Structure 1
């Protein structure tokens, strides 16, 4: 059975310029700041939703399910079911598509769906070699073992990279999303005027 699905309302926050340090907002902060006025405009209570779906790539460790945390902070009730989806830059669109399908198929009546991101909160990660070295250092028993472990240190062990940079780089081709777009544009003859 298929039934009509209606997109009732929408909202967004402005983009903020990168400042070279973690920004003042987490993904949930942005979702709540966007969602609060959206919910206030509706003629029904925030608890009337069947489900909340949020897309988020850069999940902050203190908000592992941003959809659930945002739903609670938006006053949608403790019984509100909420889950987060991640499909890189398509996460927000995936949440809307999933909501559309659930409503179309009749399993849900009303869903709050969207995407949220705060990229300045991406964690810093160390290389596998550096992580193994830190592990050896932590397992070292006594000063002599610690000195042996210290002899294997390399300067690059103290240079973490932004986790999101690694996360958005394809592990098969070693290309990030921008590089992939350039390859595809070249291969299929797409220039900026036709894009």
Structure 2
């Protein structure tokens, strides 16, 4: 079987809700990173076999196959196709997985994977305004219990015994690590500025410097009166996009490109759809088993910070080194633009691996409905 390698990865800065990126259509934001990827690598867009594009809320600005429309917005030739993938929050991580699988199988030679979400323009939960997504059979199976991610995060906190102090300490740490990464220029290489009203926007907008457990303690719980989850220890509603170029080692050589990392292994798994957000735990075990690696072999982990109890429960179950978990901060600090987050996390994972010379990195995302992706990549340069 052929290999699959990542040649380059780019992302926009992450805009906060109703912030700097809120006036930009999802197709234009997507087209911006596609164009930047082509410019940086020097590839001819006409040679791209397909664009696999993650997006969660596929209505309004993000309807009608946003993956295909992104190609047109980038100014790429009309013959280049595009498809939109929805695996909830893991949509663009699934796009990366699917792109790698297609390259390894010999069906594609050069493919772009990524995703977008403009949550300012297409609000979270907007798809529920026209119907019931779960349907009567599923609701009956689970005794009509509410499928709510916030309540799922509360159930995780209860099951693993995390109190308000613990989750708030984790959230404050996310902000501190993200601030340090921004100040150190860790993201500079893969971040492409977006021009808005004549000004270049080039920094993640959601960061709240000086966040502490004491400041977070003042916030009221969002889902239960006596709960631990609130706006400060949950991921931020955001806007953003990211894209990766994936090919084979041989094709990269032909194009004069130097691969950054090799796609090593991928796995998906399901879990309790009511607690919903524990999927990264079995997905991690599954991908490690498939890769023939142990948790100690992995130099850095990106576990999406949908809510603070998610990575904390993952850490408790896997026994991973806490110092290797989300060392650059995460979605609590800088935001979670749903369909773009998987690809955005991959750019962060690559940045950490390259900066520290780490051979293996593992990324995993909890997803609505109780599924999760887990992906291992191997540094080549």
Same fold (TM over 0.5): yes
- Whole-Å Cα distance in 1 between the matches of residues 129 and 14 of structure 2? 23
TM (normalized to structure 2)? 0.37
* Offset of residue 179 of structure 1: 2.3
CA RMSD of aligned residues (A): 2.8
Alignment of 1:29-40 (within 5 A): 29-40=28-39
Q: Which has the higher contact order (CA 8 A, sep 6+)?
A: 2
User: Aligned partners of 1:166 and 1:181: how far apart in 2?
Assistant: 23
Asked if the contact 2:53/2:92 (under 8 Å) is kept, the reply is yes
TM-score by length of 1: 0.68
1:164 is displaced (CA, Å) by: 4.9
- For 1:7 and 1:64, how far apart are their aligned partners in 2? 28
Higher-strand-fraction structure = 2
CA contact (8 A) 1:30 1:117 kept: no
Q: Is the 8 A contact 1:170 1:176 kept in 2?
A: no
> What is the aligned counterpart of 2:150 among 174, 178, 181?
178
- CA radius of gyration, larger in: 1
How many angstroms apart in 2 are the aligned matches of 1:48 and 1:163?
A: 36
Corresponding residue SS for 1:14? coil
Is 2:92 aligned against 1:92? yes
SS at match of 2:8: coil
In structure 1, stretches of 5+ residues that fail to align are 124-160
Per-residue Cα deviation, 1:86-117 (whole angstroms, up to 9, x for no partner): 11111111111110111111111111110100
Q: How many residues align?
A: 155
**For residues 1-22 of structure 1, what are the alpha-carbon distances to aligned partners after superposition, in whole Å with 9 as ceiling and x for unaligned?**
x2111011111111212239x9
- Is 2:96 the counterpart of 1:163? no
Secondary structure of 1:186's counterpart equals helix
Residues 55 and 117 in structure 2, CA contact (< 8 A), matched pair in contact too: yes
Matched, 1:49 2:48: yes
Partner of 2:11, secondary structure, is: coil
CA contact (8 A) 1:58 1:121 kept: no
The residue aligned with 1:151 is none
| TM superposition shift of 1:162 | 5.2
Q: Equivalent residues in 2 for 1:127-146 (5 A)?
A: none
- Contact 1:11/1:34 (<8 A) preserved: yes
CA distance in 2, matches of 1:80, 1:96: 18
Deviation of 1:35 (Å): 1.9
> What is residue 80 of structure 1 aligned with on the other side?
80
